[in-house]
Each structure stands twice: as C-alpha cells, then as structure tokens.
Amino acid sequence: MKTLSISVAAYNMEKLIRQNLDSFVSSPVAADIEVLVINDGSKDKTADIVREYEQKYPDTVKLIDQQNAGPGSTVNRGMEHASGRYFRMVDADDWVGDGFESYVNALKKTDVDMVVTNYTCVDDKTGQTRREKVAGLESGRELDFTAVCSDLFLDMHSVTFRTDILKKNNIRLFNGFYTDVQYLLFPCPYVKTVLYLDCDVYMYRVSLTGQSMSAPSMQRNIQMHDDMLFSIAALYNAVKDTQPECAAYILKKLVYISGTELGTLLSFEPSKETKQKLFDYIARLKSACPEAYAGFCRYKTARALSLFGGAFYPVISRMHRRKLGL
C-alpha cells in the first residue's frame, strides 16, 4: 500500500502542470506516493502532458479523465481512486517543496487521523515567498484533536487526512469552486487524533490571473460560495451540541468565509438589486446560524450595515470597490 495519495485537480494547466509533477517524481519518496491527476475536461494539452508522466512513472502518476464538472468533483474522484493510507489535495498550479520528503517519511510512522504541516505562498508575479506556519500545536507529538482544535485556524494547504476517514464516512464535496473549505471541515467530526509536523510542504502560487479567489471570479461564482458557506453552517449546527470543541473550530472558519462573501457582495456596482441581495444574505445568515452571525457582526462593515441598514450601503460599496481596484 502506498503511504500517500495526492489528488491533483487539473483544468487547462499545460503551462504549469510539469512543475507540479516534477516536484513529486523527483522526490526520493516517489515510490511511496501516488499522484492522481484528475483532468477536468481540459481543452489544452494538459492530458497529453500527464500521459507522458504516467508512461514514464507508471508506479507514481495516474491520469483520470472526466468531463468538466468543477474542482470539487475532482477531489471526489481522487478520494474514490485513492489507495494510499493518507490523502491530500495539491492543485495543478501548485507544487511541493523541500519538506515533502520528511513529511512522507513521517507519515510512514504514524496512524493519526489528521496531519498538519506548514505551507509557503509564492507570488506568481514577483517570486516573493511568505511562509505560513501553523500556530498552536507542538511539533512531532500526537495530540487529541478535541483538546487543540478550538485554538486552530487551518487552510486546505496544511491538511492531510487518513484516507479511510474520508472513505468510511462518505465525505463528498460539492462539484464547484470553494469546496476546499468543505474538504477542510467535513471530515472533522470523525477526527480523533492530530499530528503537527514543522515542515514546509505545499507551495501555493498566488497572484495568478484568473484564480478563483480573484474579485472577478468571486463575482462570477458567488452562488457556489454561498452554497458552500451554508453547507458549513449546516455542519456547525449538526455538531454544536454533541461536539462543542469541533464546532468552535468550524465556527471560526464559518465566520471568516461569511466576511469573504460580504466583501464579494459589496464588490458589485451599487444598485437596488445588489443591495437587496446583500441584505437577503445577512438575513439568511442570521436565521441559519446565529452564532456565525454574531461573529460576522464583529467585522466593522457588517456591524455598520446591521446597525444602520441600507443608508450607508452605496458609500461602503464604492469604498470597497475602490480598494479592490474595480
């Protein structure tokens, strides 16, 4: 059995996929991993390039073709095909760094439910790097998840799950964008143990034109973000009475993404229609999850909108749009 399965979502990535795959196949631990590249209906040469690597490294790289269905669907396919003891996501425009070898070697020696590592942001335009180090965990020690999770604020780039946690509990993501949050949180009610490794594994490319977190993309895909957000609200409500520590961990991320959606709604040109959508969203959040709404109102902009209604909406929206360069 392989130690680690890596699910790589690839859509029109012919310019970047080689860097991704090279970081895996050139590693001394390549024999211990499987790289499942889910080609999500690419129109370019992505599949041809991956097929080259599959032929050259048949024990490590596997191409899985599908019709275009969205990023979440690729993770679902990856989980279905995964045969390694552990599972993680790495997007096709990203790669793994120098800490990958020690990370995989550590996975061989543990059986915890979740493994957490650091990651590095790499600016695609300037090449500048910023290390994102996990705070609140002692490195190299197996810990009770419920004892530490309420102090954690993690991202998808940091997290690895034991594969059978995902398979046995039928973890499934929505097909669209922003489902990395679902990947991060949906398994958490089933996680009992966690291990932090103080090594930098994931190299996360930022400032790339067309990324899903850019303002234009967020505007186009706001319904997907909204669907994801309220799926997390439902998850929080499902565990808040029985698993309060896990719920506290989920709530922090829920409050954060509620602020992200507020920013997207404010990024549209002010109009009667966009104003209505904004206040409908606030009302739905308050109704679906009062605890998240309370945290949401700690954002200055949210508090102003909640206190004063629509009076300041046009001014707040224009200021926000100017900040985003829209």
- Kindly report, residue by residue over 134-149, the tens digit of the pLDDT: 988 889 999 999 999 9
* Average pLDDT of the chain to the nearest whole number: 94
The helix-helix angle for 313-324 and 300-308 (nearest 10°) equals 160
* Residue 186 confidence (pLDDT): 98
* Residue 212 confidence (pLDDT): 53
Gap between the Cα atoms of 318 and 289, Å rounded: 28
CATH of domain 4-206: 3.90.550.10
Gap between the Cα atoms of 46 and 10, Å rounded: 7
* Residue 277 confidence (pLDDT): 94
Across 219-242, b (16+ Cβ under 10 Å) vs e yields eebbebbbbbbbbbbebbeebbee
What are the residue boundaries of the structural domains of the chain, listed by start?
4-206, 215-324
Question: What is the percent of the chain where pLDDT is above 90?
Answer: 83
Above 80 in pLDDT, residue 310? Answer: no
